[in-house]
Amino acid sequence: MIKQLTACTHELYDSEKAAREILEQLDIKNSLLKNSVALIFCHTKFIGSGITEAVYKSLPFDALGCTSQYFAMPTTAGRPAAAGEILLAVSVLTSDDTEFITGLSEPLNRENFEANIESFYRNAASSLEVKPSLIFAFQPAILNLTNDIMLTALDRACGGIPVFGSVALDMKIVRRNPKTIYRGAAYDDRMALLLFRGPVKPKFFSFPFPAKPFLAEDAVITGAENNRIISINNKPAVSFLEKLGLLQGGNVTPAIPLIMEAPDRRSPKTVILRGIENGGVLICSRQIQAGETLGIGMIAADDVLDSMNALVQSIKREGGGSVLFIFSCTFRAIALGGSHAAEVELMQKGLADFPGSYLYVSSAGEICPDKTNGLFQYTLVACLF
């Protein structure tokens, strides 16, 4: 059995006060079992102010996680239900029969990621006599190294063990600086892993959308390289967006999903536009192949709330768990007027009688098994055990 303890702080400047608030809420002197690990999620401001490092140093066990933009957790002793953007959230997992092993990769880039991830996983798992039963992964956001191929490399290295997690997030307007977190330090090019060894039987939930284009166009990708769309219908890729009026001041908006489909029209994938290179080349969040067709998706507020309600009802039907992690794509908030608040309010009301604890975190890419380990976008995912 695994028990989950949650805590949070809004304190941005006083490291002693922040650490004290976290420890008081966790009550680790009276709550810990034999093995423990902490997951830390925070707004990037907590890294620059030193709060993340101070909180880690106050804990007597390993910690890892990533930056994010919105957080929520239920009521605990001495603390009402919490939610917000400028927040540092901690989830401690503690167990007598499950062992927790953490690891941090070497810096990853386009040339070395496959070999580095393979050796990184092998080193992390080397202390185990048997394969882990579950992996939590926190991936960096690297412009020219997409998270789908990083996950493919990890899936190959671990032999298909279930992987759940998130891509680091920072939604500053001018300069984005998402970070993964490991033992209090922050990294922009390293992956952090948590391996579970023991009788963990996770249940996974995913609500991806949109499954089909809202605006179908006669558009075929005629030139592509890695995650770059060079041409559409043999014209510069950016002209496709210009024709549809989807550029804002010459820039793309990630709030509009692209729907990519292979020629056989099976397994459409949702793609985020990251930016435009000189010459009108589109930079995407996934690997792109010539021959794929392209359409425009749409996320509405009703879609966001309906999927959260569906998740809550699914969790209630499944039952049998007391540890819950929920990751929601940050772009879902745009459909709700720029904040996750309405989605979180619905979640907290629906999970008011949940028998354990939970942690909700916004995400720049949702990692969740769906037949196989997959990277989602614009999606709501959860792991219950």
The pLDDT of 166-185, averaged and rounded, is 85
The pLDDT assigned to 326 comes to 98
Number of H helices, E strands in the chain: 10, 26
The pLDDT assigned to 79 comes to 72
Lowest mean pLDDT among 94-108, 267-281, 358-372: 267-281
| Residue 116 to residue 137: CA distance in whole angstroms | 15
The pLDDT of 74-102, averaged and rounded, is 91
Local confidence band at 242 (pLDDT 50, 70, 90 cut-offs): confident
**Pair 315, 385: CB distance under 8 Å:** no
The pLDDT assigned to 212 comes to 66
Tokens for 241, please give them: 């967006």
Lowest mean pLDDT among 127-136, 266-275, 296-305: 266-275
Q: What Rg value do the Cα atoms of the chain yield, rounded?
A: 20
Q: How far is CA 95 from CA 35, 112, 358, in A?
A: 5, 36, 16
The pLDDT assigned to 173 comes to 47
3-class DSSP state of 95: strand
**Pair 260, 377: CB distance under 8 Å:** no
| Residue 348 to residue 346: CA distance in whole angstroms | 6
pLDDT tens across 3-57, in order?
999 999 999 999 999 999 999 999 998 999 999 999 999 999 999 999 999 999 9
Kindly give the residue spans of alpha helices, DSSP state H, lying in the chain. Answer: 15-26, 28-31, 45-48, 51-57, 113-125, 147-158, 237-244, 301-318, 332-335, 341-350
The pLDDT assigned to 174 comes to 45
Local confidence band at 272 (pLDDT 50, 70, 90 cut-offs): confident
- Would the pLDDT of 254 be above 80? no
The pLDDT assigned to 128 comes to 87
